[in-house]
Amino acid sequence: MSTTLFLQQVLNGLLDGVYYLLIALGLSLIFSLGGIVNLAHGAFYAIGAYLTVVLANHIGFGGALIASPIAVAFIGILLERFLFRRFYREDPILSLLLTFGLALVAEQILRMVFGAPPLSFAIPQALRGQVFIGDFIYSFYRTILLAIAVLCVAGLWFLLQRTAFGRVVRAGVQNPDMVGALGISLEPYMAAVAALGIGLAGLAGVLLAPIYSIHPAMGQEIITPAFVVVVIGGLGSFWGVVVAALLVGLAKGMMVAAGYAQFSTAAIYGLMLLVLLFRPRGLFGERILRFE
């Protein structure tokens, strides 16, 4: 393998990880703060993609890029308000059942409304083509995708680490009772976190709609690797999830690059096994009292 190809594969693997990151960050946030294992998270990714196809006909891809994640986030708020909220203090197994059921319902609704065959959708003409940097050739659309994803992740980091909002959320993750004792209600924060996390999944759906098959079960394809990312990264850690997502993308990409494509899916589970053997809380997992 030439050095250029090797470097391209490394970068491509990292980029693949960024898609998982958009899904995994939301999963991690919602679990850390509310203790909800959101198996329906993949469904919001699918809804984001379907909304893109519908909206792009009227307001163009650019409009859909903004409107779809907002619409999906709004569904997230409703979900949090009417369903998740009842499960924060319950055994996580109950919310697991709830979200598993929601995922099935969402998938079947998409199938009933849009049919089972994939929906036709392509990259907008203006975003097609390749970028040439020396020996590097790469899809122009994916560089745009990367830029948007990085911007969102950076924005989320800023929000969580550098603002008053973020401080309350982080305190809520560690010790919700103490936050309550200080006279701060976590309820509006939970709604905001659900909106953010689920909105990010919707955004991933928009960004990937032009290059992935848009079909009702597309959420299932992405939810499992996203969970692996959360587990490897460790709960409560922003950077843990970021590093884990990149590692998972890299592990997959490198298996293909090395000619062992058939093991590329298995590789990410192997990675998870290794990490859990040595660091049962994940790479940068924090000790969270209520989950111990």
The site map against other proteins for 153-192 (x = CB under 8 A) is: ----------------------------------------
Residue closer to other proteins by CB (options 69, 253) is 253
**Cβ neighbours of residue 199 closer than 8 Å, sequence gap 6 or more:** 26, 69, 70, 72, 73, 76
The residue within the footprint of other proteins, chosen from 83, 123, 159, 184 (CB under 8 A), is 123
**Taking the C-alpha atoms of 105, 211, 30 and 165 in order, what is their torsion angle to the nearest 10 degrees?**
-130
262 binds other proteins per the rule CB under 8 A: yes
Residue ranges in 72-111 that form contacts with other proteins under rule CB under 8 A:
107, 111
215 binds other proteins per the rule CB under 8 A: yes
The residue within the footprint of other proteins, chosen from 62, 66, 78, 128 (CB under 8 A), is 128
d(CA 126, CA 103) in angstroms, rounded, equals 34
Query: Which class for 12: exposed (0-12), middle (13-18), buried (19 or more C-beta within 10 A)?
Result: buried
d(CA 210, CA 203) in angstroms, rounded, equals 12
Residue closer to other proteins by CB (options 121, 284) is 121
130 binds other proteins per the rule CB under 8 A: yes
**Cβ neighbours of residue 204 closer than 8 Å, sequence gap 6 or more:** 19, 22, 23, 45, 48, 222
119 binds other proteins per the rule CB under 8 A: yes
Residue with tokens 């690059």: 257
- Contact residues toward other proteins (CB under 8 A) are 1-2, 5, 8-9, 12-13, 15-16, 19, 107, 111, 115-123, 128-130, 137, 139, 141-142, 210-218, 221-222, 224, 252-253, 256-257, 259, 261-262, 264-265
